[in-house]
Structure 1
Amino acid sequence: MGRVTTSLPESPAALADALASTGYLADEGLATAGFLALTLGRPLFLEGEAGVGKTAFAQALAVATGARFVRLQCYEGLDAAQALYDWDFPRQILHLRAAEAAASGQQIDAAVLEAGLYDRRFLIARPLLQALEHSPCVLLVDEVDRADDEFEAFLLETLAEAAITIPEIGRIVAETPPLTVLTSNRTREVHDALKRRCLYHWVEHPEFDREVAILRERLPQITRRLAEQVAAAAGRMRELDLIKPPGVAESIDWAGALVALGARDLDPDRAAATLGAVLKYREDVARVRAGLDDLVAAQP
């Protein structure tokens, strides 16, 4: 796990400015965590509720530092082959048939033919191998909490060495180890062994002023009044006992839906018609709709 060497910021504030130039508005805590990860060459472990901007932070970090962005999306059952590399069997078979045809009855050297089958051109690089081969790189290991314990241990070993060994080719070592950003929605606890090797930051929902700024950054056509109303309403929804409180991603979707309908401010009718952009469970929609007039009437 390593250090991106392109366009390193000189301070957390400088990183915040660089991120802002990409459209990502980080608070002081997140900008500091990102700066330390870059400076110390440590992986950064981000936890927080879904939709608070963890994935977007890694993407913005790559753009801000001029690094390549590689994403490994984790899920239950993910194994090493799906994360590291695989062989392109159809192309290997075509190569074998072409070699046999070219020989046209002549004796084929089996060892040479076999060696040709395992040439680098037939290797399909999955995210981890891509991250090792391309430098500098920001590697996002997204939703690591969804992967199995065995994969978590494998990931830890691979990233610690910044290298892999492919039996048919040999050892591939990263010229510059990727800066790794791991995210978790806390569907399960990630093992301490992985967390100990990372800098840790809990990503909060944005406070009101920053959420308004995010909405106006992402939706330039939105009125300040509507941005403030959406941010305030989303903040109040997060105080309710909802199955899935809205994150900033949902706030952006909701504001975008309202803008698409030509809204300049938030009224109960348009709010009711667009709740599906901000809430994703029927029970949550029903609960919010029951108190929608009060939710909308309350001023930011």
Structure 2
Amino acid sequence: MPETSSTNLPGSIDAVVDLLAEHDYLAGRPLATVLFLALRMQRPLFLEGEAGVGKTEIAKVLASALDRPLIRLQCYEGLDVASAVYEWNYPAQMLEIRLSEAAGVSDRDRMEHDIFSARYLIRRPVLQALESEPGRAPVFLIDELDRTDEAFEAFLLEVLSDFQVTIPEYGTVKATEKPIVIVTSNRTREVHDALKRRCLYHWVDYPKAAEELAIIRRKVPGCNEQLSRQIVAYVQKLRTLDLFKNPGVAETIDWATALTELDRLALDPETIADTLGTLLKYQDDIARIQGSEGQKVLSEVKAELLAAG
């Protein structure tokens, strides 16, 4: 079992590596180090990198490994406070006002206090993350922050600095126990320095060949060794071709799973052409690899693996 502290957090960098590995996430030491520090320093962790390199998976695995709730705020263009933080239950408030009026309640201050109480507050992910059970602060995943606009990003500064949210009609909600915050970005735009300064930072890159092979062995144990090596070498080559969208680790796993389901023992041009849809997600990329360029990649892969023995 991994070494943990009294708060059920990993007690060392090696313990982080072991903890994630127990849940099938193979983390390099630089990632394990920054994750360990984020947990110990109670600082948000900002993970940046290409889509498909496993940034979101880190938060999911961490929540499972630490037995914490996972609260996910999926960002998108136009995300606002009502969708991300809170909103008032207006129909219920209106009903309460009418019932109070019908009962002859004339104290407007009391009525206002009643309708702007916790009973009518609809809690969205940010507020949920701040109001956790004692001893079980959640893993709060703010996913793909770069998809939002700068106004929402600015709003998050209070959350990430003080772990609190101010609701004008209600007051300030402050976390009694800080959530574990993971922020991810695919870098479709630059996130402002003011937000980054509140976080520890790590760039999550595509894994090296040996690392990706280890992932395939763990995630797709039914894939034979020869095919696993060919898959990894092929995908690594594709990422050097400047495709519209390079295949991520998830796509590599999907391809290995698909080829295993088809009982393939090695790559061949026909198999590649038939299964590229599990690996590549844009028709222009698929058309390019189904042609002579894809056959050239396969020839290079087989020659390099043969030479390597």
TM over 0.5: yes
Report the counterpart of residue 39 of structure 1 in structure 2: 40
Report the counterpart of residue 79 of structure 2 in structure 1: 78
Shift of 1:153: 1.0
Shift of 1:243: 0.9
Report the counterpart of residue 292 of structure 1 in structure 2: 294
Report the counterpart of residue 159 of structure 2 in structure 1: 158
Identity level (%): 50
Report the counterpart of residue 131 of structure 2 in structure 1: 133
Tell me whether 1:169 sits opposite 2:166 in the alignment. Answer: no
Q: Could you tell me the TM-score, scaled by structure 1's length?
A: 0.90
Report the counterpart of residue 120 of structure 1 in structure 2: 118
Secondary structure, counterpart of 1:46 in structure 2: strand
Q: In 2, Cα distance between the equivalents of 1:37 and 1:19?
A: 15
Q: In 2, Cα distance between the equivalents of 1:113 and 1:200?
A: 47
Q: In 2, Cα distance between the equivalents of 1:93 and 1:219?
A: 55
Shift of 1:133: 0.6
What amino acid does structure 2 have at the position aligned with 1:108?
V
What amino acid does structure 2 have at the position aligned with 1:39?
R
Deviations along 1:213-240, one digit per CA (max 9) or x if unpaired, are: 2122222322222222211111010011
Report the counterpart of residue 104 of structure 2 in structure 1: 107
CA RMSD of aligned residues (A): 2.1
Shift of 1:194: 1.4
> Is the deviation greater in 160-169 or in 6-15?
160-169
Report the counterpart of residue 208 of structure 1 in structure 2: 209
Q: Could you tell me whether the CA contact under 8 Å between 2:160 and 2:198 is conserved in 1?
A: no
Q: In 2, Cα distance between the equivalents of 1:189 and 1:129?
A: 26
Q: Could you tell me whether the CA contact under 8 Å between 2:209 and 2:233 is conserved in 1?
A: yes
Deviations along 1:91-121, one digit per CA (max 9) or x if unpaired, are: 4445556x36xx9x64234545544433323
Q: In 2, Cα distance between the equivalents of 1:90 and 1:235?
A: 55
What number of residue pairs does the alignment pair up? 293
Tell me whether 1:193 sits opposite 2:194 in the alignment. Answer: yes
Secondary structure, counterpart of 2:272 in structure 1: helix
Report the counterpart of residue 265 of structure 2 in structure 1: 264
* Runs of at least 5 residues in structure 1 that lack an aligned partner in the other structure: none
Residues 5 and 236 of structure 1: CA distance in aligned 2, closer, same or farther (over 3 Å) = farther
Report the counterpart of residue 19 of structure 1 in structure 2: 20
Q: In 1, Cα distance between the equivalents of 2:6 and 2:159?
A: 21
Q: Could you tell me the TM-score, scaled by structure 2's length?
A: 0.87
* Runs of at least 5 residues in structure 2 that lack an aligned partner in the other structure: none
Q: In 1, Cα distance between the equivalents of 2:117 and 2:158?
A: 26
Q: Could you tell me whether the CA contact under 8 Å between 1:7 and 1:66 is conserved in 2?
A: no
Q: In 2, Cα distance between the equivalents of 1:188 and 1:40?
A: 28
Deviations along 1:186-224, one digit per CA (max 9) or x if unpaired, are: 111111111222211111111112212212222232222
Residues 159 and 198 of structure 1: CA distance in aligned 2, closer, same or farther (over 3 Å) = closer
Structure with larger RCO (C-alpha < 8 A, sep 6+): 1
Q: In 2, Cα distance between the equivalents of 1:21 and 1:92?
A: 48
Shift of 1:293: 2.5
Residues 94 and 269 of structure 1: CA distance in aligned 2, closer, same or farther (over 3 Å) = farther
